Structure 1
Amino acid sequence: MKNRLLKSLVLGVVVMGLAWACQPPDELPIIPKISYNRVEFFDEATGSDSLILYINFEDGDGDIGLRGSEENYPYNKYNFIIDSSNPRKFVFIGGDNYTPPFYSAFDENFNRLPQQTLFSETDIRRPYNCEQYEEVEYFPSQTATTTKIDTFLVARNPNNQNIFVDFYRKVNGNYEFLDWANVFSSNGCGGNFNARFPIFDTDNLGKSLSGTLRYSMLSAGFGIVLKKDTFKLKVYIKDRALHDSNVIETPDLTLDNITLN
């Protein structure tokens, strides 16, 4: 029952919608720039409520958006972690005899990354959590004919997504980060509102592009968590060349003030 409730409130809550206009702005920089437009809230009688964010964007070379099928480096979901004693010794949740430091070295398809990077100077494995571990089915050797399932230590790849939304709730006059991953979960499995939006105009990649992005977030938990509270969002996007845009903040919001029905 608890798992079903968690799924209905948080997991799988992000969907995308687009409302954009292609314009020919003059000599825009290739690093994307965004600005706040508005936020709307739809309180559904049944099912998930919708919090819809509108942001204006512009990008000098129009390389915005990711296809759903783009899961290879540099857009893969996560990287496997190895220890310093063996370049092919993967770190598992319950393994032992590891020698830190740990390195991010292989993508989720077990392909070696162009360059391994430091993940941790020490053994930072903790009890299972959805941020740090991934359960993977794999062939344990090149000659194996049957697969095995293990829980690997992984590094999440932020380049897998291209829109990033953080919530901040106002408490006693100060804003506090609202960690959706742990609101209904004790192991960080509640998810968040980061996602990816698709390519706007494949035929015109490389050309200046501007418009408005309509980003819809679904959750049955908005009314439960935010209630009558004041909150705000911090948002940025990333282009295909992995340039981060500026970070914008919404004004103070309440669900009552942005509800449309």
Structure 2
Amino acid sequence: MKSIGKLIAVILISSIAFSACKKPLEYPLVPNIDFKSIVGVKDANGKDQYLQVTIGFTDGDGDIGYFSPESGLNDPMFDFPADATNPYYTNFKVKTYRMINNVWTVDTVDLSARIPYLTPLGSNKALKGEIQRELPLDIGLVNDTFYYEIFIYDRSLHQSNTVKTSNIVINT
């Protein structure tokens, strides 16, 4: 009886020990994103102040995001020039579409932004998470319908897939 009890104890302890060992996350090196949500954040008068968009992402080597330009820790190609002529200054890319006379039209406003540095410490750099961004809105929009196409770059310049948000009606 004692040997059966010991055997059960060994099996139980082994099961717990093996279940505690997590397999490292593994994802492709090219980031992959998926659309989660887009919501209008309203002020006290019920007007949309800004949009909050959420995307999910995975990246196999975790090279997502930049340090602040002032830190001097980024590859200079990500920080200079610090304007729209540098395609990698922003790594969260947004293309805006607006319904005008029942036709989807590309809006010229650039809502692209920089994702902060997200690389984890340790040997397993694979990342899975969500990124939330606030998209500013122009004043005076009345029942205007928009959607957005979004993709991201990692620091190896891998471009993710592009996702499309759902349509959203905006009143500012």
TM > 0.5: yes
Query: Which structure: larger Rg?
Result: 2
* Paired residues of 2:62 and 2:120 also in contact (CA < 8 A): no
Q: Which has the higher contact order (CA 8 A, sep 6+)?
A: 1
Provide the rounded CA distance (Å) in 2 between the counterparts of 1:25 and 1:236.
Answer: 26
In the alignment, is residue 35 of structure 1 matched against residue 34 of structure 2?
A: yes
Q: Deviations over 1:58-117 (max 9, x none)?
A: 011111010113565221232xxxxxxxxxxxxxxxxxxxxxxxxxxxxx8xxxxxxxxx
Q: Give percent identity, aligned residues only.
A: 29
Aligned length: 146
Unaligned runs of 5+ in 2: 1-21
Q: Which residue of 2 aligns with 1:211?
A: 129
> What do you get for the CA RMSD once the two structures are aligned?
2.8
Q: Which residue of 2 aligns with 1:237?
A: 152
Provide the rounded CA distance (Å) in 2 between the counterparts of 1:72 and 1:25.
Answer: 28
Q: Which residue of 1 aligns with 2:10?
A: none
Q: Deviations over 1:105-149 (max 9, x none)?
A: xxx8xxxxxxxxxxxxxxxxxxxxx86xxxxxxxxxxxxxxxxxx
In the alignment, is residue 198 of structure 1 matched against residue 127 of structure 2?
A: no
Q: Which residue of 2 aligns with 1:170?
A: 99
Shift of 1:49: 1.6
Shift of 1:43: 2.1
In the alignment, is residue 73 of structure 1 matched against residue 72 of structure 2?
A: no
* Paired residues of 1:65 and 1:197 also in contact (CA < 8 A): yes
Shift of 1:217: 2.4
Provide the rounded CA distance (Å) in 1 between the counterparts of 2:120 and 2:29.
Answer: 17
* Paired residues of 1:235 and 1:249 also in contact (CA < 8 A): yes
Unaligned runs of 5+ in 1: 1-22, 79-107, 109-129, 132-155, 181-191, 257-261
The TM-score normalised by the length of structure 1 is 0.50
* Paired residues of 1:32 and 1:60 also in contact (CA < 8 A): yes
